[in-house]
Amino acid sequence: MTIIVKNKATLVYDDFTFNCCIGKKGLTKNKIEGDKKTPKGTFSLGNLYYRKDRNPKPLTKLKCISIRKSMGWCNDIKNKKYYNKLIKINKEIKHEKLFRKDYKYDFMIPINYNTKKTELGNGSAIFLHLSNKLKPTLGCVALNKKDFLILVKLIDKKTKIKII
């Protein structure tokens, strides 16, 4: 089964329809780091990361990984080795912190965009994550917490996401 992001406000999986939000500047086939656009295409999903200090482990068939303070996601367009990968936070490498003060990454799944043959500057840290009031993201797809928790009960590691 495939998760379909039908438009900037609707995500569909099987018989379920959820409200969602995407990048502030819409969708694109030509993603560029920092453009605030969500990439179009069909992508696999990564593991589910969660804040165990704030939430119990969710019911899901996905592999769950507890987020630690030292975890980051490299968005450094000058770092070929780590760009668009999970890293241990290092002052020398630009990154997105996963252990945040806000709630957005209390539950988060990397969307495997630009991960196989990673192209520097083509976009990084594209996640399925939480949103409180469904405000546009910087390029991710976001859901309300209750909808996210329903979705992760339904999907597994073979599930793809299609953003159209």
Q: pTM for this one?
A: 0.97
DSSP SS3 for 146: helix
Provide the residue ranges of all domains of the chain, joining segments of one domain with +. 2-163
Architecture of the domain spanning 2-163: Beta Barrel (2.40)
Give the integer Cα–Cα distance in Å for 52 and 145: 15
The two beta strands, 48-50 and 41-44, are unpaired
- What is the predicted pLDDT for the residue at 149? 98
DSSP SS3 for 101: coil
Adjacency order of strands within the sheet including 95-97: 86-88, 71-74, 95-97
Tens-digit pLDDT string for the chain (164 aa): 999 999 999 999 999 999 999 999 999 999 999 999 999 999 999 999 999 999 999 999 999 999 999 999 999 999 999 999 999 999 999 999 999 999 999 999 999 999 999 999 999 999 999 999 999 999 999 999 999 999 999 999 999 999 99
